[in-house]
Amino acid sequence: MSRFLAVTGLALRELWISYRLLLIVGVLLLAALPAAVLGGVIPGADDPLAAADQRIQLFAVGLAAGLALAAGVAAGTVATERQRGTAGWLVTRAVPRGTIVTGWFAAFAVVLVLGIGPAAALTWLSLGQLAGTVDPLAFATSVVAALGVGLAAVALGLLLGSMFGTRAAMLASGILTAAVLLPATSLAVPFLVTAPAPGAPFAILADLADAVRPVAESTRTGGAALAASAALLLLASAVMARADL
C-alpha cells in the first residue's frame, strides 16, 4: 500500500510539474464553456427542456474531447516512463510493475475528478432557470457514469502506453477514445443503452430528456465502464510485467 501511495504521489507530482495536470483539468473545464456561451444562441431553443438538453449535449461533446486528450496523455506518460528508464528505477526499488500502472491510474483518476467535477458543476450552474427542467439526480449520475468511461479511457491509454512508443500510443489512445465517445453524443440513447456500448453514458448525458430511466441506465452503463476499466488495467499490468524497461 505504501508503495502504491508513493507511486501515486510521485505521478501526481510529475503531472503537476510538467503542466499535464493543468492541461487536462483546463480542457475538461473548457467543456463547460460552450454550454454556457453557445447554449443561448442555438436556434430552436424556445422549448426549455430542449434548450437544457442542447447545452448538456455541448458539455458532453467537450467532455468527450477532454477524455480523448486524457487517454492520449496517459498513454504517452506510461510509454515515456518505460523509455526514459524511470519505470525501471522504480522496479529496481521493489515497486511491482503492476503498482506502477495502478499508481499512474490513480493519479489520472484524481485529475479526472478535479476536471469533471467542477466542469459539471459549472454546466449545471450555467443552465440557470433551465435547470428546473432536468432531474439533478439524473444529471449527476450520468456525469459519474461519464467519469467511469473516462477511467476506462485512461486505462486504455495505460495499456497502449505499455505496448507502443510514445507518439503511437498517444495517437492511438486519443483517436480511439474520440472515435467512440464523440459519435455517442449524437446517437440515439435506446440503441446504445440496450447494447453494452462503451459510449453509452455519453449518449445518456447528451440526451437526458429522451432517456427513459436515466438514473438506472447511467448506473448500469457506468458500472460496465468501471468493469471495463478494471479489465483494461489488469491487461495493462500484465503487458507491463512482460515489457523491457
Partner 1 sequence: MGAHVLLTSKPEGADSLLLGILAGLVRPSRGTFQLAGLSRPGEARGGWAGRVAYLPPDGGFYPGLSPWEVLELAGRLAGYAPAERRRRIDEAVEHYRLGNELRRPTSRAGASLAQRVGLAAAMLGEPEVLLLDEPLRALDNEERWRLLRIPGRRRTVLMVSRYPAREEGLVDEVVFIRDGTVALHAGVEELAAHGMTLSMRGIHALADLRAARSAIAASA
Q: How many CB atoms lie within 10 A of CB 129?
A: 9
The answer to the question of residue 109 lying near partner 1 (CB under 8 A) is no
Scanning 91-99, 112-120, 149-157, 218-226 for contacts with partner 1 by CB under 8 A, the matching segment is 91-99
Query: How many residues interact with partner 1 (rule CB under 8 A)?
Result: 22
Residues 148 and 201: beta-carbon distance below 8 Å: yes
Piece in contact with partner 1 (CB under 8 A), picked from 9-17, 45-53, 62-70, 205-213: 9-17
> If binding is defined by CB under 8 A, does position 10 make contact with partner 1?
yes
**Residues in CB range of 121: below 8 A, 6 or more apart:** none
Residue 106 interacts with partner 1 (CB under 8 A)? no
Candidates 2-10, 28-36, 182-190, 205-213; binding stretch for partner 1 (CB under 8 A): 2-10
Inter-residue long-range contacts of 13-16, CB under 8 Å, 24+ positions, other chains counted: 14/77, 15/77, 15/107, 15/108, 15/111
Q: Is 131 in the site for partner 1 (CB under 8 A)?
A: no
Interacting residue with partner 1 among 41, 43, 46, 94 (CB under 8 A): 94
- Closest distance of CB 15 from partner 1, Å: 11
Selected binder of partner 1 within 95, 147, 159, 239 (CB under 8 A): 95
**Residue 92 lies near partner 1 (rule: CB under 8 A):** yes
Residue listed under C-alpha cell 453509452: 200
Span of 1-9, 102-110, 183-191, 216-224 interacting with partner 1 by CB under 8 A = 1-9
Q: Is 212 in the site for partner 1 (CB under 8 A)?
A: no
- The answer to the question of residue 245 lying near partner 1 (CB under 8 A) is yes
Is residue 127 within 8 A of residue 139, CB to CB? The reply is no
Q: Extract the C-alpha cell encoding 43.
A: 436556434
Sequence-ordered alpha helix ranges (H) in the chain = 2-17, 20-30, 32-37, 48-84, 86-91, 97-127, 136-163, 166-184, 189-194, 200-206, 214-242
* 183-187 long-range contacts, CB within 8 A, separation 24+: 184/64, 185/57, 185/60, 185/61, 185/64
Binding site for partner 1 (CB under 8 A): 2-3, 6, 10, 13-14, 17-18, 85-86, 88-96, 242, 244-245
